[in-house]
Amino acid sequence: MANGDTNGPTPEFTEIAETLGKAAAQLQKNWMDWMSSFAKQQGEESEPTGGFRSVAEGLSNLQFDPSRIMTRQLELWRDYQALWLSTTTRMMGQDASPVIEPEQGDQRFRDAEWSDNPVFDFIKQSYLLNARWLRETVAEVDGLDSDSGRKLEFFGRMLVDALAPTNFALTNPQVLRETADSKGENLVRGMQNLSDDLRAGRDGLRPQQTDMSAFEVGKNIATTAGSVVHQTPLMQLIQYEPTTETVYRKPLLIVPPWINKFYILDLKPENSFVRWATEQGYTVFMISWVNPDERLSDKSFDDYVQDGIFAALDAVEHATGERQVTAVGYCIGGTLLSAALAHMAATGDDRISAATFFAAQADFENAGDLKVFTDKGQVDALEHQVRARGYLDGAQMAGTFNALRANDLIWYFVINNYLLGKEPPVFDLLFWNADSTRFPARLLLDYLRGMYQENALAQKGQFKLLGTPLDLGAVTIPVYIQASVEDHIAPAESVFKLNHLFSGPRRFVLAGAGHIAGVVNPPAKRKYQHWLNTRRKAYATFDAWLDDAVEHPGSWWPDWHNWLSRRSGPKVPSRIVGDGAAKIIEPAPGSYVLVRS
């Protein structure tokens, strides 16, 4: 003991020990709560768990090349020798170049200690070396088909992300500082946060991401003025109030995804696409999909087109007197819109004269990480669950989507909420992300099998809508196609294939950021960038297009407005909601959007 103190532990040490004892007790209680919850759910298997088992079953077919494994081991040993030398040099007070550094954009190691402290720098680099070794080794495994290889790579990445030193209290310098400063109170608070999450039914894939009491739909989020002017069992149609004296003659109909809710395009006023579009002079209509329950279990693509898009087109004409509109389809809403357009082309329906696709796919051959969860075995197992319940639960779907971006949507909050003991941030986008929706059973199974397994929509005559075989090549109207460079749900390479499916004039733009931030990027923010290619030539691949593209700073929204305005007709006096034949049912955002899962 310092200063000759032989009277036992100091008061400060005793306080920390007592605090950590409380945390340990809370952890034990959390473990028992989780075990109890797990016992109640036995027999139910989440999609990620099913994926792990599928990969494990496939490992028996792997073929390991002994010489290749030996080469990999020697390379790792060489890298570790270099790391030991680098670390020893730094411990002696000399400069040394890192053996490996985090990839650009990896925010996990942004704390200065990861670079300034030789010990933490060694921990960081050893983790990065092991992660790289695992990725490269997995990439060279023989004996797997492409789908199994994709699964092995994905779940290997999940494992690597889970084992990052940032996720553990004793190897995270920020957590250690907080523990010392608060005498361990952060861990007590963290265990209480974990307990609260478990009590609320959140599992390990869904830590609380934001303060859900900080936002109220229609009060401080989804506040653009408008009214519901039509509704069916599947959707409400919102018409927004104009903000300009004149508007383009053709109204704009937006078809959002029914996964999550429409107000991703109407968050706070400063990042609302809807508000911005009205300010550019568009009469905006928005479909707000119902949050389905077991009563809608047998609804299909036919129903979502007939009682969704086609019903909305009828209602827009009723409200404005205009037969022709332009349309936007976002994500799975864009998939639905593309099918509807093919049906309209086959039946001579010309009510949509130009279409825009935000991060939407119609060719699912290279549909990204979601394909990990859509093989026959997993979909067959999922069918047993959703048929019995009538829908895919919103929480299960949210857990799957979180797993696609585990570092951002799982592990960041594990560290923030459980290790640092902080409250989650107040953020409108995270509130929307947590406001999950259900997915009707028949629609889900038709979607997973028809699109992800069979890729039927991309093949002429293979997908039927309302009894009509579809041919996307028959769609000759102008289309604007937006993709995002970091999109993990609708990869840019996959979205780009829309250029090969439609036959009319096409404009493709690549946005910076990902599936959400790449779309919701108002010009005033001056964030990210976008790429345009104005060369008049056809490109066989996305990479070839990108090689000739030019990068521009900021949002792509003005480019889209410039494109759409020329296809929206002349200006006419602005339309006041309710002045037409369609009468107001209730104020926006309507009641369908308020139904929580």
The 10s digit of each residue's pLDDT in 565-576 is 999 999 999 999
Range 13-22 contact pairs with CB under 8 angstroms and sequence separation of 24 or more: 15/183, 16/183, 16/184, 19/183, 19/184, 19/185, 19/187, 19/188, 20/184, 20/187, 22/188
* Helices within 390-467 (DSSP H only): 394-404, 406, 412-413, 428-434, 441-447
**Given a cut of 80, is residue 83 above it in pLDDT?**
yes
Interhelix angle 118-139/66-91, nearest 10 degrees: 170
Residue whose entry in the numeric block shows the structure tokens 């034949």: 581
pLDDT at 442 over 70: yes
First to last CA, the chain: 58
The C-alpha atoms of residue 93 and residue 96 are separated, in whole angstroms, by 9
Instruction: Express each pLDDT in 353-368 by its tens digit.
Output: 999 999 999 999 999 8
The DSSP bridge partners found for residue 226 are 240
Q: pLDDT tens digits for 156-214?
A: 888 889 999 999 999 999 999 999 999 999 999 999 999 888 887 766 667 899 999 99
User: Residue 240 pLDDT > 90, yes or no?
Assistant: yes
User: Is residue 379 a contact partner of residue 453, using CB atoms and an 8 Å limit?
Assistant: yes
Distance CA 331, CA 210 (A): 24
- By annotation, the residues acting in catalysis are 331
> Does residue 584 sit in helix, strand or coil?
coil
C-alpha to C-alpha distance for 51 and 160, rounded to whole angstroms: 16
**Rg, C-alpha atoms of the chain:** 27
Cβ–Cβ under 8 Å, residues 348 and 468:
no
Contact yes or no for 169/187 (Cβ under 8 A): yes
Question: What amino acid occupies position 427?
Answer: F
Q: Where do the domains of the chain lie?
A: 11-199, 226-390+422-594
> Over the stretch 322-340, which tens digit does the pLDDT of each residue have?
999 999 999 999 999 999 9
Range 270-277 contact pairs with CB under 8 angstroms and sequence separation of 24 or more: 270/522, 270/524, 270/525, 271/428, 271/520, 271/522, 271/525, 272/224, 272/522, 273/519, 273/520, 273/522, 273/557, 274/224, 274/240, 275/224, 275/243, 276/522, 276/523, 276/557, 277/252
**CATH superfamily of this structure's domain 226-390+422-594:** Alpha/Beta hydrolase fold, catalytic domain (3.40.50.1820)
How confident is the model over 118-166, as pLDDT tens digits?
999 999 999 999 999 888 877 777 766 777 778 888 888 888 899 999 9
**pTM for this one?**
0.87
Q: Is the pLDDT of residue 5 over 90?
A: no
pLDDT, one tens digit per residue, over 406-422 is 999 999 999 999 999 99
Answer with the residue of higher pLDDT: 58 or 460: 460
